A and B are shown apart, each in its own frame.
Chain A
Amino acid sequence: MKIHYYPGCTLKVTATQFESSAIASAQALGVEMLELQRWNCCGTVYSLANDDLIRQLAPIRNLIRVRNENGNAVTTLCSMCLNTLKSANLLINENPEKKRTINAFMDEEEDYDGGVEVVHLLEILRDRVGFEEVRGKVTQPLSGLRASPYYGCLLLRPEEIGIDRAESPTILEDLLKSMSAEPIDSPYKAECCGSYQTVDKADLVIEKTRDIVSWAARNKAQCIVVSCPLCFFNLDERQKDLAERESGTALLPVFYFTQLLALALGLGAEVCGFQKHVIDPRPLLSSKGFI
């Protein structure tokens, strides 16, 4: 199958390893991700004005781009992008008047009809490919890898646009199991990572990181698996800060789910960009014989 792909800014800068491993894995599973020819910022850090319309312009324009390329659906990887695009879509479809106002404002673009479906790659794997199919394509089972899935907030909330049950998601666990990895449960898995507080309140994020990582370590997880670039940054970068501050802290590598998927599908470390990680995951992976 082919599906339009909206990358968003982070995937082109700090999270290139997420993109490369995602595209390669999807390809191996028969899903061709076609990057939109034109796209702009998803809108997540746009206006904080009281008017809830102006900040919808960026996501809606992106959805119009999908329509311009005759698409009915678009996939994305970043939780922020997913949340922003899906929220805008929901708002438009529930409020015909707001839809009209937004369409009237954007005179250069064609009107948006509200019909583009926004899906996360995880949803494609679960609902269109199927985890059983994934299991069948695995050539390098990740046996013996104890991983702590971490969802963060935006993938699951609000409930209307979440990709799984907000309080007790299992989609990452199910994917990990299909690769023969061993997911461990964590009460922190759907807590906030600290998000953009990382910019000016690093201490707060370090605290959150300590909670998330130390639980995982205590429960003998060997790594943390995420799907959001901001969660990744906070858990990877801030974990190093934490370790500098507190000796004896276990350092757990952080993975995008797509990196593990790529390894499991036998696509090799080349598409995974492990050199970009602050906490190098390669010693763990080679000790397991996965690379």
Chain B
Amino acid sequence: MKLTPYNNASTAAITKRALVIGGGIAGMQASLDIADAGYEVVLVEREPSIGGHMIQLSETFPTLDCSQCIMTPKMVEVSQHPNIRLMTYCEVEDVTGDVGQFDVRIRKKAAYVDREKCTGCGLCVEKCPTKVPSEFDLSLGKRKVIYVPFPQAVPPKPVIDAENCRFLTSGKCGVCKKVCEVEAVDFEQTDTMIEERVGAIVVATGYDLYAKEKVAEYGYGRYPDVISGLEFERLNSASGPTTGEIRRPSDGKVPREVVFIQCVGSRDREKGVPYCSRICCMYAAKHAMLYKHKVPDGQAYVFYMDIRADGKGYEEFVQRGVEEDGTLYLRGRVSRVFQHGDKIVVWGVDTLAGKKTEIAADMVVLATAVVPAAGSRKLAKALDIVTDEYGFYTEAHLKAHSVESGKPGILLAGCGQSPKDIPDTVAQAGCAASKVTALFSASEVGGSLLDLPMRFTASKSLRE
């Protein structure tokens, strides 16, 4: 098979090796699918471990199966797959070339630990004297300065947070180095650049949540008991800072009334983003349910605009929450959230009853909008692909080419393209992987295989 490549070169050979950027569920799934098809994969993850946001979740809707139970075996599989080269704590800096022949520059960030030598014994972490807020627990818990982000991390090798390290900031301490039996701690380590040639790229960089300071009227960032949905996931996780007990951050009390507020930032053309974040209706239903399972005499309220439960088993799940777990849904928006004594008072409107409502809650959980992961625009620039006005990667055609970026050989998967739930993410990642393997099964870059004319046109028009 051989057709004219888009860049007018006569033909081009294909490096049958893929780069996957991002080690969340999307990137892991894409990597496994490509690797299982017999091709090499370089999986780059900027955090010290793969797992992404999904490994932070407690149970998942609508089946309530434990996220770690799904993720942990997959993470191990990724790390042990003979075709996958896992590069954690690395970031893609620059990409040149075209489909079939991309040259990628990857920054391997200084971990101050030789992660090849390290055996993962954990002694250094145990002995490290400094504690700082844990990113993995969204600052609800603490971690050491030399740290593995969470116990099931892959690889289970620590990195040193240079900003907070006593030795790296003041030259004192160095306990981790002293206790390391294999001499893996290396304070002299610096960032290094690695070059890789690949034939195709899957971009799976995921999402962040809408910034705290943008939702001031809900007191987020001001009152410790006003938290985000992701923070609630950590409170609810057996591996989390409260070992799975629902205790509010301010004083550790078990909250008797919890208010969930939907569409915080999402679907808000005036002050937030106009789009729907797609996962919040379901995770709020799940949160309310899980909360009730753990606090049987508690009451969960959900302020919502409308309930979007459009996946398989989703509507049934929401109904179950209402009927079996007594989740009280209030259709309407919240105008203000404020601290009064040890209560968090929520003022809202119940538009079905036509009344203003006030709830003196113990904790408030905000479904803050899904936004593209920090750095998405910068990466898009390096890859020469397009983002929309919010920073989500733009697909070549929303319907006909929904996993292709505008640039041949660069595929999209997961929330970096648009907000989506886990089933959709996994499906899209598998689709992106199949496009990569289809490309790799050709001998040379060709037109019909990639449907280049259409994609090329789309890419051009999008850029203009």
User: Which A residues lie at the B interface, using CB under 8 A?
Assistant: 165, 167-168, 185, 187
Contacts and interface: CB of A to CB of B under 8 A. Distances in A.
Given A187-B336, A187-B338, A165 B345 contact: no
12 contacts: A165-B216, A167-B216, A167-B217, A167-B336, A168-B216, A168-B217, A185-B338, A187-B336, A187-B338, A187-B340, A187-B345, A187-B347
Interface in B406-448: none
Contacts of B345: 187
Contacts of B217: 167-168
Contacts of A187: 336, 338, 340, 345, 347
Name which of B217, B345, B347 has the most chain A CB atoms within 10 A of its CB.
B217
A54 to B, nearest CB: 28
Secondary structure at chain B's binding surface: helix, strand, loop or mixed? strand
A163 to B, nearest CB: 16
A167 B272 CA distance: 14
A167 B340 CA distance: 17
Given A167-B216, A167-B217, A187-B336, 9 more contacts: A165-B216, A167-B336, A168-B216, A168-B217, A185-B338, A187-B338, A187-B340, A187-B345, A187-B347
A235 B256 CA distance: 36
B80 to A, nearest CB: 50
B344 to A, nearest CB: 11
Interface in B323-350: 336, 338, 340, 345, 347
Nearest to A186: B338
B105 to A, nearest CB: 42
A165 B340 CA distance: 22
Interface string B216-230: 110000000000000
Contacts of B338: 185, 187
A72 B340 CA distance: 45
Contacts of A185: 338
Contacts of B340: 187
Q: Closest 6 A-B residue pairs measured CB to CB? A: A167-B217, A168-B216, A187-B338, A167-B216, A187-B336, A165-B216
Contacts of B336: 167, 187
A124 B137 CA distance: 43
A200 B381 CA distance: 61
Nearest to A215: B340
A167 B271 CA distance: 11
Interface in B347-367: 347
Interface string B280-293: 00000000000000
A260 B217 CA distance: 28
B432 to A, nearest CB: 41
A165 B217 CA distance: 10
B73 to A, nearest CB: 45
Nearest to A169: B216
